[in-house]
Amino acid sequence: MKYSDTFKEKVVYEYLQGPFGYRRLAKNYNIPSKKIIEEWVQAFRAFGKEGLKRKASKTVYPVQFKVDVLHWMKSNSASLSETATRFGLNRPALISSWKHTVMKEGIAGLEPKPKGRPSMAKKPKKDDQTKHEWSREEQLKRENELLRLENSYLKKLRAFRENPDAYLEKHKQRWHSNSKKKDTD
């Protein structure tokens, strides 16, 4: 269920100023879990009112950023909330989702998925229907190229599985934020 920003603010202020705890507020406002209010309070404490606002559009994070977040969380034995606050994310569940995806699909699963229905293939014109026949030499070159790529991929995968921390450190790229802060002197 989605809650308005003003409603979230009201509940957070009531928690911060009143005698009620998470569980009692969740019951009073028919919120299914006290965890939701805990996350709102954490986001409010870390980012103020901005932490309670829903984003107008879905933010797409680079794969390297996601890997850095997961790596930091693991190496510092940090909780989801601590990690989210550290990296400026107001939804700790997002990190949990990334972690689950990596465990299930590997790092490749963190790549953005294409949205929408794929475009329909255009029917080739009658003139374009002549198929290119590959010579035996071209077929062998292509097969050789594919085998080289597969071999390279498997070597990298094996290196990552043997020591993920060392592999990530070796292939780490700096993540730069899209937002640039101006100096206010």
Give residue 183's pLDDT.
52
- Taking alpha carbons only, the member of 62, 86, 96, 67 closest to residue 167 is 67
Average pLDDT over residues 107-115: 83
Average pLDDT over residues 18-42: 87
> Does pLDDT of 172 surpass 50?
yes
67-74 contacts, C-beta under 8 A, 24 or more apart: 67/107, 67/110, 67/168, 68/172, 68/175, 69/95, 69/98, 70/95, 70/98, 70/99, 70/102, 71/165, 71/168, 73/99, 74/165
CA distance from start to end of the chain: 43
Q: For residues 81 and 69, what is the distance between their CA atoms, to the nearest angstrom?
A: 12
**Who has greater pLDDT, 123 or 2?**
2
Which pLDDT tens digit goes with each residue over 36-56? 888 888 888 877 887 777 766
Global pTM exceeds 0.75: no
